[in-house]
Amino acid sequence: MPERLDAFLAHQGLGTRSEVRNLIRSGLVTVGGAVCRNQAAHLRNEAVTVRGRPVVAGPDSATLLVHKPLGLACSHDPREAPLLESLYPAPLLHLPIEPAGRLDRDTSGILICTSDGQLIHRLTNPKQAVWKRYRIGYAGKLSAHAVERCTAGLILPDEERPTLPARLELHAEGEATLHLCEGRYHQVRRMFAALGGEVLRLHRDRIGGLELPEALKTGECREMTEAEIAALFNQ
Ligand code: URA
């Protein structure tokens, strides 16, 4: 479907709707080789330039594998900066990319960020049971039968429904692994608090059948391959 000139420029990341309209009104935009001052002009594959530079249409969807560092917020609110979206590649900034399940500012690890709403639904809907693996460093002494309590489901403060069965593995003193197939607000930290512990370090290193690749260093992100997307559901 032909797209309006102002919408096209905004989607390509050249500014907000009002900013790109200013560019158009100022005669800085050409369509098919001629200056175009009509913000509502409909494009039909003509070449577009802004300040003499070609505007090449970017991709219309993207799915990113992100190694989230500590300190970034999964939010679009600039008051919460620094934001996860600061890691996204510039040519994809016009896309409505969202994380499939957030990680807290103080949590690191693997995140899938995508413009594909169906993929987000498949990854976050507990009915799909895509397991996420968390590596945990904690303080305190967990209650007796902590493993069995996670399997049975915990009632968290201010909630009525017990957590879905989760797999807890206790390692050396203060180290644990937790496997969850749902993603409630601060779930790992709240489950540990309910068991008498306090999470000090939290890192997610697997979603479904996909491990965080060693080559993807903290703070890096790249587009996912088809094989990686398939691996998410192959657990
Ligand atoms: N559980 C938490 O408490 N925090 C996260 O970031 C993810 C799961």
Share of the chain above pLDDT 90, in %: 89
Radius of gyration of the chain (CA): 23
Structurally, what CATH architecture does the domain formed by 63-125+210-231 represent? 2-Layer Sandwich (3.30)
Closest of 121, 97, 118, 102 to residue 202, by C-alpha: 102
Q: What is the pLDDT, as a whole number, of residue 123?
A: 97
Cα(206) to centroid of ligand 1, in Å?
13
Tell me how far the alpha carbon of residue 187 lies from the centroid of ligand 1, in angstroms. 5
When pLDDT is cut at 50, 70 and 90, the band that residue 11 belongs to is confident
CATH of 131-207, picked from 3.40.50.720, 3.30.1490.100, 3.30.70.1560, 3.40.50.300, is 3.30.70.1560
pLDDT, tens digit (0-9, with 9 covering 90-100), for 169-217:
999 989 999 999 999 999 999 999 999 999 999 999 999 999 999 999 9
Mean pLDDT of 6-31: 93
For the chain, the residue count is 235
Q: Report the CATH architecture of 3-54.
A: Roll (3.10)
- Closest residue by CA, ligand 1 atom 4: 186
Residue boundaries of the structural domains of the chain: 3-54, 63-125+210-231, 131-207
Residue 1 has pLDDT above 70, yes or no: no
Nearest CA, atom 7, ligand 1: 103
Taking residue 40's Cβ as centre, other Cβ atoms within 10 Å add up to 10
Q: What is the DSSP string of 169-188?
A: EE-STTEEEEEES---TTHH
Q: How many CB atoms lie within 10 A of CB 59?
A: 11
Query: From residue 144, how far is each of 140, 196, 215 by CA, in Å?
Result: 12, 10, 39
Q: Which of 103, 105, 111, 156 for a ligand 1 pocket mutation test, highest count of atoms within 8 Å of Cβ?
A: 103
Task: Tell me, using a 6 A CB cutoff, whether residue 108 lines ligand 1.
Answer: no
Which one is predicted more confidently, 119 or 13? 119
Q: Establish whether residue 206 lines the binding site of ligand 1, counting it when its CB lies within 6 angstroms of any ligand atom.
A: no
pTM exceeds 0.95: no
Place of tokens 């644990």: 176
Which residues are catalytic, by number? 104
Q: What is the DSSP letter of 106?
A: T
| pLDDT at residue number 190 | 98
Do 63-125+210-231 and 131-207 share a fold? yes
